[in-house]
Chain A
Amino acid sequence: MKIIACYSNKGGVGKTATAVNLSYALADAGQRTLLCDLDPQGASSFYFRVKPSKKLTETKFFDDVERFTKSIRGSDYDNLDILPANMTFRDFDVFLSRMKNSRSRLKKALKAVKSDYDVILLDCPPNISTLSENVFSAADGIVVPVIPTTLSQRTFEQLEEFFREHDLPVNKLHAFFSMSQGIKSLHGQTMEEMRKAHKKRFLNTQIAFTSDIERMGVHRAPVIATSPRSAAAVAYRELHDEVMERLGKA
């Protein structure tokens, strides 16, 4: 089982759109996928029309295997389940370690209801906190959308610094350029610089800024599902292929 985190220490970079489409692409490729909505400001549950579960705010939640499995919701798509959330998830690291331990009660409970997952995708909140640190150490890979601007460049460097300071392997970071705009020469320039400065950290895929992605809020569905032939859908599938290839080698 693989754990992939979608993370950005800056808001409004297309992180949730990435989590939504990446999870869909994974499920569509036959991976049994659980998307965990950890970002209180994000809306991955909203895009899948799943209402946040009220029961999830209770603190002892992760000790209670049955209640955890009960709060998972099936999406409208095969192989894709959602863990809707509007809580702090202060014990999330406990959950992740249990998911990784095949002998844990949680894992056994999931297996018992044939809901074991091949991939868990985490839509993370945009701040570096204890939660993030735990997620970083549990995840097999961290997908980081970066808008090609000077400001984003600084934020990404901060993230790398955080990794080094906390002895986390930087090669877990898989950044890609998000919401890039071809007509802005500054974007092109920044991308070139950043690829040079952070060799190997950046994926080849770019997710360009398109109205299809903006309209996801209207359709409330992954863009790959609603407009499978759009440039955005193609780009997200490429992102999926590239991420999975990298994680396969890891």
Chain B
Amino acid sequence: MPFPSVPIFLVPAEALTAFAGATTGKLTKHMTRSEEDMPFALLDTFDETLRQSGMCLLQAGGELTLWTADGEVLTQTGVDQPAGFVADLAEGPVKLALACVPELRSLIPLAQGRLQTAQLALLDKEGKTQARARFHILTPDLGHRIAIAQLQGLRGYDKAFAQLQADLLGAGAVPYADRHPLIALLPEHAPYVAKPDLELEADATVFDTANAIIAAYLPVARQNEQGVVDDIDVEFLHDYRIALRKIRSVVSLFKGVYSDKQTERLKQRFSDLMAPTGRLRDLDVYLLERDFFFDLVPQSLHGGLERMFDMFAAERTVAHQKLAKHLKSKGYATEITKLVSLFEAPKRLHRGPDADSQAHDFASALIWKRYRKICKIAEAIDDQTEDEEVHELRIHCKKLRYLMEFFAPAFPAEEFKSLIKPLKKLQDNLGLFNDYSVQQDSLRAFLDGLGTDDHAGNMQLAQSVGALIAVLHQRQLGERQKVVESFQSFNSPETQQTFRDLFHGGEG
């Protein structure tokens, strides 16, 4: 019977050759290799959720093998389709263990090559196996050959098991917990990070800070281009847009860092980059809301929704083709390359009057001003206030959040965290309020845009969509009622004091 946990090691592939037939003490190593090799793919999401949770997923020969952080090895057969969403996998132990993968993220091959398997048995003089190891020998198309070794001890033969571990370590093996197979296979591999960590010098200027943020987010946008073109999952476009939106907010929120003309010019260029992505993102969001919408209205009205989502899906295909074509165009390539090189050597940017201010002081002033504005709007909000004011509050909160995130490195981490957490909660409330409102608007726009030729079909649609709008309106009212309370719990006396301490010299 195997030991409860299976120790896993990464072994340099060449070390295995020396193992076959070798004898240590009374034990002989007996190696059996699979005769044929087959293609393999190491799967993960683009942002490497699995690697970050200590898991490694291999697909080869219609089988998935998952190594978990606690050294378990799970397999699931009958997986002949190329990688995709976890939800689409057949039920099985691997799927169950992959619950941590975000549902919007698709699994993609991050390394590919050929796989050979091998078995190693430590035999005593009776020919009895006293310990064994199973190897997945991975030869990537590009990169280093490695073997993932999974050791199995047999009850009552602890010494042989210890010897096998020692032999592997002696041959350069590394415990799985210490190095992920992806890193061992591809030492040059640079993982995708959606929120790059920015390190700012204590005396950094606003100009340096702005340029550093933009220089860090431009590559984030670029890394998502291919995934958008290949339409792997909706998160590529989402991350692409977030990166560009952050850049645009730096340009617009850091007032005086660039000259007015430069600011206008940059704003325009980044807005132009974002413009062609809007419709596809809207459609992605509608389609993601499908199940939610179906749950909101009675089954008798589902027919109309069905028609609406079919229309969205059809439009999405066209919108995606259009955006993909744009991202592959020469014009786009030239523009984005120019922007990247501009922020790699920012000397060419025209400085504004505040360019040389200290990031810390500049940020304090901006954050304090924004915070005061938020308080002013929020304090005036009651049950009778126009929705417009609530929208206004949401936008200011969003800007405050961006500012705080951009300048976080310039402030003490603990206190900052204590502000971000309640702010997030307030934003969740305002975000839902906004979502329900935007959903109603877009559903109305959808109805307005319907043609006149299919009268019966349109009637059915209008009924369903009308009912949906009514439900969404109720939900929006519900969120609206929470706003006053949410703001109060955000703006507690502690929050107020921390804002004063951090950004206004303790006064205010």
Contact = CB atoms under 8 A, between A and B. Distances in A.
A binds B: yes
B504 to A, nearest CB: 60
Contact of A80 (B1, B126, B127, B129): B1
Contacts of A78: 1-2
A199 interface: no
A114 to B, nearest CB: 5
Interface string B1-37: 1101000000000000000000000000000000000
B128 interface: yes
Contact of A49 (B1, B4, B128, B156): B128
Nearest to B121: A76
Nearest to A69: B155
Contact of A115 (B126, B128, B155, B157): B155
Interface in A188-217: none
A37 interface: no
Interface in B137-175: 153-157
Contact of B157 (A73, A113, A220): A73
A48 B128 contact: yes
A76 B155 CA distance: 10
Interface residues of B, number: 13
A153 interface: no
Nearest to A73: B156
Nearest to B131: A74
B155 A49 contact: no
A48 B124 CA distance: 12
A57 to B, nearest CB: 17
A113 B4 CA distance: 7
B2 A70 contact: no
Interface in A72-102: 72-76, 78-81
Contact of B4 (A51, A72, A81, A114): A114
A32 interface: yes
A32 B4 CA distance: 14
B156 A74 contact: yes
B129 A76 contact: yes
Interface of B, secondary structure class, is loop
A71 interface: yes
A79 B1 contact: yes
A50 interface: yes
B154 A74 contact: yes
Contact of B155 (A48, A51, A72, A220): A72
A79 B152 CA distance: 13
A70 B156 CA distance: 6
A220 B125 CA distance: 13
B1 A32 contact: yes
A214 to B, nearest CB: 19
A49 B124 CA distance: 9
Contacts of A50: 126, 128
Contacts of B2: 74, 78
Contacts of A80: 1
Q: Which of A48, A49, A70, A78 has the most CB of B within 10 A?
A: A49
Contacts of A74: 1-2, 153-157
A157 to B, nearest CB: 40
Q: Which of B2, B128, B157 has the most CB of A within 10 A?
A: B128
A81 B155 CA distance: 8
Nearest to A50: B128
Nearest to B4: A114
A72 B156 contact: yes
A137 B153 CA distance: 35
Contacts of B126: 49-51, 220
A64 B155 CA distance: 18
Contacts of B128: 48-51, 76
B375 to A, nearest CB: 59
Contacts of B154: 73-76
Contacts of A81: 1, 155
B281 to A, nearest CB: 50
Nearest to A221: B127
Contacts of B124: 49
Interface string A178-189: 000000000000
A144 B133 CA distance: 39
A175 to B, nearest CB: 31
Interface in A29-62: 32, 48-51
A78 B153 CA distance: 11
A26 to B, nearest CB: 13
B4 A220 contact: no
A48 B2 CA distance: 16
Nearest to A80: B1
Nearest to A79: B1
Contacts of B4: 113-114
A51 B4 CA distance: 24
A19 B173 CA distance: 41
Contacts of A75: 154
Contacts of A32: 1
Given A71-B156, A81-B1, 17 more contacts: A50-B126, A51-B126, A51-B128, A70-B156, A72-B156, A73-B154, A74-B1, A74-B2, A74-B153, A74-B154, A76-B129, A76-B154, A78-B2, A79-B1, A113-B4, A114-B4, A220-B127
15 contacts: A48-B128, A49-B124, A49-B126, A71-B156, A73-B156, A74-B153, A76-B129, A78-B1, A79-B1, A80-B1, A81-B155, A113-B4, A114-B1, A114-B4, A115-B1
Interface of A: 32, 48-51, 70-76, 78-81, 113-115, 220
Q: Which 10 A-B pairs have the closest CB atoms?
A: A74-B154, A49-B128, A74-B155, A73-B156, A49-B126, A76-B129, A114-B4, A81-B1, A72-B155, A74-B1
